[in-house]
Amino acid sequence: MKEEGKPSTFNATQNIYGFIQDVRLRRTTGSYKLTSKTLSLLTELVAKEKWNTAEDLLAVIRSQGVILSQALPHDIVIANTIRRVMKIVREEYDSPRVMNVDDAQSILSLHKLVTQGADPERGDYSKPMPGLKNALLDHLSEIETELETTAESISMQAAEHIHSAELIMTIGYSRAVEKFLKKAAETRPIEVVVIECAPDCRGQQLAANLARAKIQTTLISDAAVFAIMSRINKVIIGTHSVLANGGLQAVCGTYSLALSAKHFSVPVVVLAPTYKLAPVHLCNYEQGDFNILGNTEAILPFRSQAARFTKVYNPLFDYVPPELVTLFITNNGTNAPSYIYRLISELYHPDDNQL
């Protein structure tokens, strides 16, 4: 009985490997589900793993995070969640010292902000702290609640950004975009143009869902974007992740869409929950960690004669520079691309940027 109830690293690692297997077999898909599952795994790790100090816990989380990030490098929301939890551990450990500051010193002056890094006790997580586990579990529970209301928080801002009788363009399929447009259509008539995003053509699913919601919807091919852009009032898209400079890792075809929008001075609005903000930069357009090559059967069938002599590539992502983005809508409000660095500094600790 003692062995059965004893928490161990092996059990935690076994759960991690099971999660990796589910993601690779596409049993768990979508940024929200990946983030939610990662957060529940880390919460279980904090609750059941044996650790005495914040330093021990950070080491355990980092070791499991390295396994996840190396096994699933393209699902960047997983690494983001790990960094967020590590920041929470640091904050909860430092919070008692911050709360003990006198009221006269509670307001940070410019001098204090500059000299804050010289505090010898900051960054030392080797001392045990009573009640740290309970405080962490409470904080993680709040993060889980925030995660559950993310989509609703973004869609509630639809009325501020979409006006009556506007013609909206979007690309591919995004749950956030679908909810956002449906929320706007509850109070005003709008018309949506959906780019099908070949060869997967996931835009067809979004167009069908919007049509069932009684929203006037037009489905177009990728080649027709520039021809119709002059009529568009606003481009609203989702994204796979937001990089530290405000650039996007978005579905393939988004870059040409953003270029067309810039040519006709059409604003590009990106719906991005905070868990998609990543403290990483694009170093090389050809790096393997940035893009994924998808199945090319829909482009050139394997059994065709030309397939024997032709190399076919089907990249899943585009990099969209921040200059082509007008506005980000997150669950915490709206921000310009130039402000993304500030949001990232609030979400993650600099020491955790590299797992």
Q: Helix, strand, or coil here: 268?
A: strand
pLDDT of 106 reads 47
Q: What is the mean pLDDT of residues 165-169?
A: 94
Q: pLDDT for 59-100, tens place per residue?
A: 999 999 999 999 988 889 999 999 999 999 998 888 765 455
- Residue 242's closest CA among 254, 253, 250, 251? 250
* Predicted TM-score (pTM) of this structure: 0.84
R_g of the chain computed on alpha carbons: 23
Residues in the chain: 355
126 pLDDT band, cuts 50/70/90, is confident
- Sign of the Cα pseudo-torsion (289, 331, 89, 124, in order): positive
DSSP string, 109-129: PHHHHHHGGG-TTTT---S--
Q: How confident is the model at residue 315 (pLDDT cuts 50, 70, 90)?
A: confident
pLDDT at residue 233 in the model? 95
Cβ-based burial of 346 (10 A; exposed 0-12, middle 13-18, buried ≥19):
exposed
Summarised one tens digit per residue, pLDDT across range 251-262 is 999 999 999 999
Q: Where are the beta strands (DSSP E) in the chain?
A: 167-171, 191-195, 216-220, 234-237, 241-242, 248-251, 268-271, 317-320, 327-330, 333-335
**Which is higher by pLDDT, 286 or 14?**
14
With beta carbons less than 8 A apart as the criterion, state whether 88 and 136 touch: yes
**Mean per-residue pLDDT of the chain:** 86
pLDDT of residue 111: 57
Q: What is the mean pLDDT of residues 113-136?
A: 70
**Which of 5-19, 35-49, 50-64, 234-248 comes out lowest in average pLDDT?**
5-19
Domains and CATH numbers, the chain: 9-98+126-145 (1.20.120), 162-352 (3.40.50.10470)
**Closest CA relative to residue 51, chosen from 62, 40, 35:** 62
Task: Fill in the DSSP letter of residue 107.
Answer: S
Omega cis (within 30) before 321? no
Ranges 9-13, 81-85, 183-187, 286-290: which has the least confidence: 286-290
Q: Is the pLDDT higher at 109 or at 147?
A: 147
What pLDDT, on the 0 to 100 scale, is given for residue 114?
54
Contact by Cβ (8 Å): 273, 293: no
